[in-house]
Structure 1
């Protein structure tokens, strides 16, 4: 069956399923402790990409636990430090450069109430690029049809994939150049070492011949 055999809706569904990897969602439990107990989730982002971090934290304020959140990147920039997080919290930022960023949580035990080990359940969603944009608002402001909104979103996601492929290609080229340069240096080092060994061997032969001649052994 050719491409013409597929409906536009089927094509959109396939593309959306293939591009769903741009969002990261996970759920975990974070026990409350008196000391440091930070847990971080790391992701990569390209320059000028929009990032939306949504965290849903269980529990209630005053239950003896204090969950703090910290969003930071590898360049040393802070993108949010919500304190005493309960319920849904959303933070957005635009990446200043191609870098990794961490979303960190810590659960401080303020007071122990009841038996057992207290903990908070955290549900984290990280949307990057086109997934992080508010498409409902864009559709309303620009008066787009649903199909036009989906096409706009897919177009931006495809552009992000192309940009990522270009980044990977440039990185592969850089690594290949580094590898070739290293091979050249190793080759010259090997030739230099071989030449030094040959020269040292020749010098030892000449020295020993001169030594034995001086002793009238040859």
Structure 2
């Protein structure tokens, strides 16, 4: 029994190590300088997400007097549909959850507006932390374990199963993109081949026409027999 448990633990550890290699780093930390509210320029961060995927964005800003940080999350469509918005972010963690309708970049834009009467200054800077949680990363496994009465080992297995599903979906998506690119390349190569063949035919026909025309012209001029 102990040997089986040890083997299962080792297998799970190896699987966790393997799956972590496929997990992209989605947590970002940066400084956001304060600007006048009327001319504040947003600083944006994007993350690619597939369609019909659950997304949770967690943001946290550092302390800073006379500054108001706001965030607006949109997609990269023509209309830039708003997915989440939060004004005057506090120092505690703010959480926005939504589900994407289309595949593309999810864009989070932050602005740091100074209070009236204050001008931009190197002192007015706030640190912003943003973390994208996508797919299985958004699941609350504590609630799942409580609802389904799962043991700790079963919870870890559920996490691994969901991570593997995400990886498989990503691999399928990459395969589909590769197939589309391959089809596009093959179609382009076929068109180039036909265009090259047509070009050679036109050049040969034009060369033959020039030979016959010049030969006829010189005969009229009695320059050749």
Task: Give ranges in structure 2 of 5+ residues lacking alignment.
Answer: none
- Per-residue Cα deviation, 1:168-201 (whole angstroms, up to 9, x for no partner): 1121111111111111111111111011011111
SS of residue paired to 1:7: helix
- Contact 1:71–1:102, Cα closer than 8 Å, also in 2: yes
Are positions 1:43 and 2:47 aligned together?
yes
Which residue of 1 is the match for residue 56 of structure 2?
52
Are positions 1:109 and 2:114 aligned together?
yes
User: Residues 17-36 of structure 1: matches in 2 within 5 Å?
Assistant: 17-20=17-20, 21-22=23-24, 24-34=26-36, 35-36=39-40
Are positions 1:214 and 2:220 aligned together?
yes
- Contact 2:34–2:120, Cα closer than 8 Å, also in 1: no
Distance of aligned partners of 1:168 and 1:113 in 2 relative to their CA distance in 1, 3 Å threshold: closer
Among 68, 84, 89, the residue aligned to 1:85:
89
- Contact 1:23–1:125, Cα closer than 8 Å, also in 2: no
Tell me, in whole angstroms, the C-alpha distance in 2 between the residues paired with 1:102 and 1:115.
27
Tell me, in whole angstroms, the C-alpha distance in 2 between the residues paired with 1:169 and 1:46.
14
Among 110, 120, 126, the residue aligned to 1:120:
126
C-alpha displacement at 1:6, in angstroms? 6.2
C-alpha displacement at 1:23, in angstroms? 5.4
C-alpha displacement at 1:48, in angstroms? 2.2
Tell me, in whole angstroms, the C-alpha distance in 1 between the residues paired with 2:109 and 2:157.
34
C-alpha displacement at 1:24, in angstroms? 1.0
SS of residue paired to 1:217: coil
- Contact 1:70–1:81, Cα closer than 8 Å, also in 2: yes
Are positions 1:158 and 2:164 aligned together?
yes
SS of residue paired to 1:81: strand
TM-score, length of structure 2 as denominator length: 0.86
TM-score, length of structure 1 as denominator length: 0.89
Are positions 1:134 and 2:140 aligned together?
yes
CA RMSD of aligned residues (A): 2.2
C-alpha displacement at 1:142, in angstroms? 1.6
- Contact 1:23–1:128, Cα closer than 8 Å, also in 2: no
Which residue of 2 is the match for residue 191 of structure 1?
197
Count of residue pairs brought into register by the alignment: 213
- Contact 1:50–1:133, Cα closer than 8 Å, also in 2: no
Task: Give ranges in structure 1 of 5+ residues lacking alignment.
Answer: none
- Contact 1:23–1:131, Cα closer than 8 Å, also in 2: no
Distance of aligned partners of 1:40 and 1:16 in 2 relative to their CA distance in 1, 3 Å threshold: farther
Tell me, in whole angstroms, the C-alpha distance in 2 between the residues paired with 1:107 and 1:10.
48
